[in-house]
């Protein structure tokens, strides 16, 4: 991929660096003290965006991180505003359809299903609406907000649904048990303010692209992980801040993993279970063939889910 092109447009994520960069001028990261939780030894400030393909690419790593180090980590999700609108785009990208092929390339690189045809069929005008909706979900329930973000990501990357449209956001909210009316009220009010605060904090922290993760200990020491990196980079950031931290062992059978995460791609299942990638897909296909799991297939891969009760 042309690095110059990817640097000029936020939706063209640089596969080599694993970053989806904002259109604003790059800057150096600056230190800033954060409010610390007394319950966890390390806080992770995760700057992301609902339509960031590189962020979708690190879902396997993040899920494993939560399983192995979740007792020591508090992860705070903040929205970075990847695509304000289409007025400023350049670098070979002038319209949504230009992103379609790139998303297909990113899907193959990260081995995570992404269908770029979204940008040909029902493209988003901005990533701000789903970002604000996530902030609205956080006002209701932090845990459900994470589920909501996962739900809308599956919608946009696999189901080709324009999650800038309220109808899809409402469907996602209903699916994971949020109060849809309250979400709409907050979406039109308080959540906008919270989103603007996220953008402001991001600028002060020097966030220039996504994913960006700041690992912070109780003394304010920081480690950074930029872009889509192998699991070892995330683990290294934790151990640099606290070498005494030990990882938790967790059951790696499919029943336990699907009880923790109700949907998994083959890559995610491989990373979490320690099963070779090809074998992972065979295991999941066998379970879906037996009707134990439901399978959703795209032109660039599949995802498996527990059936709805």
pLDDT at residue 73 above 90? Answer: yes
3-state SS, 120-149, equals HHCCCCCCHHHHHHHHHHHHHCHHHHHHHH
pLDDT at residue 22 above 90? Answer: no
Higher-confidence residue: 16 or 235? Answer: 235
**Average pLDDT value for the chain:** 90
Domains and CATH numbers, the chain: 15-21+39-209 (3.40.30.10), 254-305 (1.10.10.10)
DSSP class of residue 84 equals S
Structure confidence by residue, pLDDT tens digits, 188-205: 999 999 999 999 999 999
Handedness of CA 135, 137, 139, 142 (dihedral sign): negative
Pairing of strands 263-265, 209-210: unpaired
pTM of the entire structure? 0.89
**pLDDT attached to residue 270:** 98
Do residues 57 and 110 make contact, with C-beta atoms less than 8 angstroms apart? yes
Is residue 28 exposed (0-12), middle (13-18) or buried (19+ Cβ within 10 Å)? exposed
**pLDDT attached to residue 8:** 52
pLDDT at residue 299 above 90? Answer: yes
Return d(Cα 229, Cα 153) in angstroms, integer.
19
Is residue 105 exposed (0-12), middle (13-18) or buried (19+ Cβ within 10 Å)? middle
Residues 6 or more apart whose CB falls under 8 angstroms from that of 31 comprise: 220, 222
pLDDT at residue 25 above 70? Answer: no
Backbone dihedral angles phi then psi of residue 12, each to the nearest 5 degrees: -95, 95
Q: What is the CA radius of gyration of the chain?
A: 19
Do residues 35 and 20 make contact, with C-beta atoms less than 8 angstroms apart? no
Stretch (H or E) spanning 225? strand 222-226
Residues 6 or more apart whose CB falls under 8 angstroms from that of 231 comprise: 60, 61, 64, 65, 271
Residues 185/210/103/166 CA torsion (nearest 10 deg) = 0
CA distances from 305 to 147, 163, 245, 254 (A): 14, 20, 32, 11
Structure confidence by residue, pLDDT tens digits, 87-139: 755 556 678 888 999 899 999 999 999 999 999 999 999 999 999 999 999 99
CA distances from 184 to 141, 156, 193 (A): 14, 20, 14
Higher-confidence residue: 26 or 256? Answer: 256
């Amino acid at each position: 991929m042309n690095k110059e092109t990817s640097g000029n447009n936020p939706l063209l994520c640089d596969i080599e660096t694993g970053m989806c960069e904002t259109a604003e001028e790059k800057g150096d990261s600056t230190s800033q003290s954060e409010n610390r939780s007394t319950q966890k030894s390390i806080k992770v400030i995760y700057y992301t965006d609902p339509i960031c393909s590189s962020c979708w690419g690190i879902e396997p790593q993040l899920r494993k991180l939560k399983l192995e180090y979740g007792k020591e980590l508090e992860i705070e999700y903040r929205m970075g505003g990847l695509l304000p609108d289409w007025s400023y785009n350049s670098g070979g990208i002038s319209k949504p359809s230009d992103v379609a092929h790139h998303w297909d390339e990113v899907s193959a690189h990260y081995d995570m299903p992404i269908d770029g045809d979204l940008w040909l069929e029902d493209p988003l005008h901005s990533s701000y609406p789903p970002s604000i909706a996530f902030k609205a979900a956080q006002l209701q329930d932090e845990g459900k907000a994470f589920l909501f973000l996962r739900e809308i990501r599956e919608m946009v990357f696999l189901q080709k649904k324009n999650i800038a449209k309220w109808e899809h956001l409402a469907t996602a909210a209903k699916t994971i048990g949020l109060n849809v009316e309250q979400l709409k009220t907050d979406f039109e009010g308080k959540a906008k303010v919270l989103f603007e605060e996220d953008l402001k904090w991001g600028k002060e922290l020097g966030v220039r692209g996504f994913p960006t993760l700041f690992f912070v200990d109780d003394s304010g020491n920081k480690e950074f992980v930029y872009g889509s990196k192998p699991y070892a980079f995330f683990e290294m950031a934790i151990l640099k801040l606290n070498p005494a931290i030990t990882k938790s062992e967790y059951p790696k059978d499919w029943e336990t993993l699907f009880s923790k995460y109700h949907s998994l791609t083959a890559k995610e299942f491989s990373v979490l279970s320690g099963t070779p990638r090809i074998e992972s897909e065979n295991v999941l296909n066998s379970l879906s063939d037996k009707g134990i799991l439901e399978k959703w297939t795209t032109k660039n891969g599949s995802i498996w889910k527990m059936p709805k009760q």
